[in-house]
């Protein structure tokens, strides 16, 4: 028997879970969740790279021309940096951003 043809009614897709928890794609609730999740992930990435490079929040802020409190808010997922700020942070951390086709 081909495993691809086995049906299991106990399985739920992630889309169904997301729809139930946050509404359908395009709804304000779903968009708010997406934005919050994105902001959190960006902050985590910046935090992890900064720690790996052994750079303090103060040093990163100085390199980018921002306040330490702003870097802290980004890393905590409280605020989402603008694209230009994200590029400046990446550069200050010795990283580049590459845009690839989807």
Q: Which regions in the chain score pLDDT beneath 50?
A: 1
What's the pLDDT at 29?
93
The whole-number pLDDT of residue 45 equals 96
Contacts of 24 (CB under 8 A, 6+ apart): 30
CATH code for residues 13-92: 1.10.260.40
What are the structure tokens assigned to 52, written together? Answer: 């790996």
Task: Give the domain ranges of the chain.
Answer: 13-92
The pLDDT assigned to 69 comes to 98
What is the distance between the alpha carbons of residues 96 and 41, in angstroms, rounded to a whole number?
17
What pTM was computed for the model? 0.78
Report the pLDDT value the prediction gives residue 8, as an integer from 0 to 100.
Answer: 64
What is the distance in angstroms between the CA of the first residue and the CA of the last residue of the chain? 35
Pairwise CA distance, residues 100 & 67, whole Å: 31
Name the DSSP letter for residue 42. H
What's the pLDDT at 11?
73
């Amino acid at each position: 028997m081909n495993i691809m043809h086995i049906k299991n009614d106990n399985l739920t897709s992630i889309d169904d879970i997301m729809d139930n928890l946050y509404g359908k794609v395009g709804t304000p609730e779903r968009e708010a969740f997406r934005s919050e999740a994105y902001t959190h992930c960006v902050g985590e990435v910046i935090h992890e790279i900064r720690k790996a490079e052994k750079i303090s929040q103060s040093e990163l802020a100085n390199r980018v021309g921002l306040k330490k409190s702003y870097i802290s808010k980004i890393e905590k997922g409280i605020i989402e940096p603008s694209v230009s700020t994200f590029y400046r942070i990446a550069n200050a951390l010795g990283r580049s951003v590459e845009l690839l086709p989807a």
